[in-house]
Structures are given as C-alpha cells and as structure tokens.
Structure 1
Amino acid sequence: MFSVIADETTDKGIREQLAIVLRYVDPKGDVREDLISLLNPTETTGSALADAIIDSIQGVGLSVEQLPRLHLLEGEVEATLPESRRKRMKALCRTRWVEQHDSILTFDQLLPALVSALEKLQVGGSSEASTKATMLLGAICRFEFLIALQMAVLIFGITLKLSVALQSPSRTLADCMQLVEVTASTVSQSRTEFHSVFQKANTLASSLNVPITAPRKTGRQMHRANCGSSDNVEDHYRINGWNVVVDETVAELRRRFPRDHPALKLEGILPRNIAMADMEGIEASAAFYDADLPQPSGLRSELLLWKQMCTELSDKGQSRTLPEMYRMATTLPNVQAMLRILLTVPATSCSAERTFSAH
C-alpha cells in the first residue's frame, strides 16, 4: 500500500518544481516518506501534473492501479473542464429518481473528462484496469449511446419537478395528479425538440471523435417495435428512438398514475373544483367510501354548505391548503371524512423506498 504526496512551487530561479513523495509502511512496520522525483515541469495544468506523477510512479516499478482512480478523473476534469463545478461522478441511485436525474446530468457534463481518464487508464493502467477501460470506452464512445444520453437529459429534466414533488409526504394524490398531467403533456409536446437533442449529441460526438452513424438496419425487429428505417441518421433516431421514448414515457406516467383511482373521484369537493362540481357526481363518487362516512344521508346538505363556504373564501380572494380546509370542515363530518381520505391516500411509495437507500 502506498500514498502519493505531491507539491508544486517555484524555486529561486523562478522555475517550476514538482516534488513527488511516496508514503508507505516498510516490512519492519515503520512509516516511510521517500522522495522519488523532483521535476521541473514545463506545464502546470492539471493534466500535465497528473501525467508527471503517473510517470514517476511507474518509473519506480509501481502500478497506477493501486492509486484511487477518482484522483485521475478529478485531474482530467480540472484540465479539460476547468469551469465545471462538478468534479466527480455521482452514483446512480436506483430508488431515488431525483438523484438519478442529477447523476445523468453530472455524467453528461463530465463525459469528455471521463473519456480522457479512461484513455489514460487504457494505456497506463494495469492489465485489468486497461481491459475495463477499453470495454467502457467501447460502450460510451458510440453515437447510439450519446444520442440516448441526450434524450435522457431532456426527459429527466422535464420529469424533475414531478420527481421532487413526489418526495414530499405533504403532497396529496390529487395535487400530484395535476402535476402528472402537466408533465405528461410537456413530454408529449417535446416531440418537436428532437432536432436540438440531435445537435447536442452531434456536437458531443464530434468532440470525442465518434462517428455519427445509425445502427445496423434489420428487416424484422424481434425485441421492440419496428418503427421503420431511414437513410438519414437524424430521421432514424427520431423515428426509432425519440418518438418511442416520448410515447413510452407518457404511457408509463399514465400507467403509474391512473385517473380512475377511487380517491381521485372525490376531487370535486376541493375548493378549486366545488364551484363547478356536479353534486350528483360527487355523491356517486362518495358511494365507494360509504362505510367511511359518519352520516351518509346528510352528505348532500353538507356539500351545499361546503360549496358556500368555499365560494365566500374565493370572493374574498383567500385560499387555503388542503390540510387547512380539512380543519375548517369540523362542522361537516362527511366532507371532513372525504377530505381525510384525499389526504391519507399516498401519491407514491417514496417514503418506503428511501429506507432502502438509507440503509
């Protein structure tokens, strides 16, 4: 085991000096710190200093594989993306969509530095590290991967607000459904944004010397919808990639948040809906929760009183949160029970999922 200690300064002759020291424990158990190089680097960029350190370590017969690779990436970030506030990759958390979005944005931003770091490992790392670096470079330095990454960046950007909202226990199912509708509509309308997505992938591919090509065509597709083919690369990814991603995302939002949930049928009693609500429709919806209503026979009378209370608040320009409206309905037991149902039904399982990532 060893650590690397490096420092750079200017000597009396105004020449740059780089001292590289190895810290390790010798066979007797004593801690040693030995100077292995005293260099006069011609460049002091993060990339040049990182190369000098690696060369010195390899010059004394040690493997770069034994260093933390994180420092190599940080050096490449400093050299290739000096203005980036993000310096390292972020793990992709399987149970937190908000963090997944942040992980993808970080990966997209640091991709040039990551490719540069992998190329260095490919040449200067151990055989195992070199093999892994080669495999990773082969996976990410493909236009098919780069275009998929840019698709994910845009889609996750649209769904971010919804993901954040779903983390809050104070959000009711009805509130979240409104945001789901907005999100699904925005995703659907983003179909026209593909040219911008393609241009970003195109620019990234050019900077990484990745050929801008479409995957091999096949006459019959066995594992996904065969959406046709085109000789134009942009048209190919629009038809077979982007349109499919948009449609599947909207479909998954509709599947995950179905509008036919029984509790959603009680939305008519919400202050924003009660003025235009159909009383017979609310009574029919409440029938599903008849056992939970303290006095079902008095529901119609309470709804009329509740509508008047909400109208007076609206006329005064006042608004209330759902918990505040629940407390305001203490004299209307059936309405309060219906509001309690709306407050009680969870929008997501985020609270349970957080326990997995926390432990």
Structure 2
Amino acid sequence: MSETSDVRARIAAARHVVVKFGSSSLTGPDHLVDTARIDHFVDALHGRMARGGDVTVVSSGAVAAGMGPLHLPARPTDLATKQAVAAVGQVHLVNAWSASFARYGVTAAQVLLTSGDAGRRDRARNAQRTLGRLRRLGTVPVINENDTVATSEFRFGDNDRLAAIVANLTKADALILLSDVDGLYDRNPADPGARFVPEVRTGHDLNGVVAGAGGAVGTGGMASKVSAARLATRGGVPVLLTSAGNIADALGAADVGTVFHPRPERALSAWKFWALYAADAEGTLVLDRGAVDAVTAGGTSLLPVGITAAEGEFSRGDIVDILGPDGQVVGRGEVNYDAPVLRGMLGLHSGELPPARRRPVVHADYLSNFASRL
C-alpha cells in the first residue's frame, strides 16, 4: 500500500471524525437554511456513525442563514449587524441540524465557542470535557464560533481554523474539511490548465499553489482551508479536503479530494499545540541571536542570560510570545516568573542569581518553537 493510500485508509477507518461544513454548503441562494441539503449531509454522517465511532460537526452559516429571515440582500459588513444577523441565523441553523439528526433518533447539541474559550487553559479544558461527555452520551456536537459575542480581537478568524483546533482538542482521528471545491488546485480550478493537488506531505508540496479567499456568504476560502489543514497535521491529525457534494465518499473510502499527511515524528503534544496555536499570550520575551538559535534548535530551556526585554504584565504560569531581536515571533512558552521579578534577572547568568531564581525562565518541556512547522 502506498503512503497516500495508507493515509486515506487511516481517515476511512478513523473512530472519531471532525467534519466541517462551509456556509455555502448549508444555505441556498435565498439565504435560508437548505434543510434538504442538511438532510443529505446527516444521512452520510449517520452512515459513518452506523459503521462505528462518532462524529463532531463544525458548522458555519449563522450569518448566511440569518440574512434570509431578515431580508438582507448582502452579507453585512458592520460588526453590530453581523452579530445580530448571526443571532437570528444560529437558531435556524441548529434547529435544522437537530431536526435532521432526530430522524435517526440521534440528539444534536449546540456548542458555541470563541477564541477566548480555547485561549485560556481552564476554559479549553472545560470545553474539552464537555465535548467528551457529549460524545459519550451519544450526541453529536454541532460547533460554531459564537459570532454574536465574538469581536475581531477574540475570533478564531474562520471556522476552518476552529475545526483544526477542535480536532486537536477532542483528539480526533481525522478532520474532513468540506467546501464547494472538490479539492486543492494550484490555482483557481476554473482557470485553464489548473492542476489538481492530490496530497500534501510538507510545505514543499504547496510551492506554486495560489489559494483564494472566501465567497459571498462565507469568510474562509481555500487559503484558510489549507492553513487549517496544515495546522491540524501539526497535531498529528490527517486531513481530507474536498467538496460537500463528495461527503459520502469522503466519509466512506476517503478516495476523493486532497489529503494532508500528518507528521507523527514531528507532531506536537497537546500542550504545545495549545500553547502555539490557541492560547492567549499575556506578554513577550525578546531574545538575543544566540538565545534564538538555542531555542529554535529544540530541547533547550530559556535562561535569563539570553533575554533582552520582558514586555507585558504577565504572571508565573502565563503563556508568552518569544521574539527574536528583529521582532519576529519564534515561539511560545509558559513563563516561570512574574514580569517584575523577571525584569530584574535579564541578561544574568544562573550563577549571578540567588538559588531561588535559578530555574529556567521557560523550561524546555513547556516551550515550543515555530521552526519545525510544515
């Protein structure tokens, strides 16, 4: 079996699958929830469940589904209106999912998240526990970003990224991203000569690929799906990217679309994935060049001698961004000192510090760098 066939077989056999649906797949041209299409999707999802395992749904579409009931001809652009429309649309959206699953005697559960829920460790763990309990109770979590309260400062950016974080949070065995395109192409598939990309092993496979932005009712175009797929694979989750029209095959033999290979030998631990991609940073540490080289090489704790500045009012146990001398973020870690204490230690060797302050600023076990990303 080839490596490509192997990863597709792994997705086909996954016990827990996160499936993300885009807005254009869930609403019609009248900007109302397309219940017939949702029934079709649930038929495929239940078929997968009947073969064993469970599914978690990440559903876009709240804003798109609210436009019809409010008679809006175009997606709103101001925050207040978008949040109001989302509040209307979310009711229609979750009711459609719930009614469709009820045809099979399956209960659906609505879960609305903001990036703040994933960004704080206690809230992330609570979300993880809740999702786990829902699955053990035999329900299907239907997750969406809480557009009604989320602001630009506290957004995942799009539901593709949310799906990647949920896949890691729930320790999913596979992530399936569904859109209106049958897979990844090196340019707009409508262009003559566009080349289909059947698999992505590393970032090198994306050289020359030009991915576009979102459509009229959604926010996440192909670029966001590629970014989310690469994000999920950093946590060891294989990803299948295809069209919603291919859902039966995607949930069956997984022999459609583009697969993104996980990198198990380089996969991040759950903590490092959270720290790098979901946690809220409370401050920054600026390093000299030597410290940057040591940190990005991996396996080295961060000591005060290599730190030139500590910015922000962070406390021990907080996550901080780690910057090089040119201001580029090179990693993140859990800091061992309050900001005022650390500022008095900067640039000092361990022997110059009292014994109580000779532990690393960031221990290697709680430090992750961006150098090893795909």
TM range (shorter): under 0.3
Report the TM-score when normalising by structure 2: 0.24
- Specify which structure has the bigger relative contact order, considering alpha-carbon pairs within 8 angstroms and separated by 6 or more residues: 2
Larger fraction in strand? 2
Report the TM-score when normalising by structure 1: 0.25
Larger fraction in helix? 1
Structure showing greater radius of gyration is 1
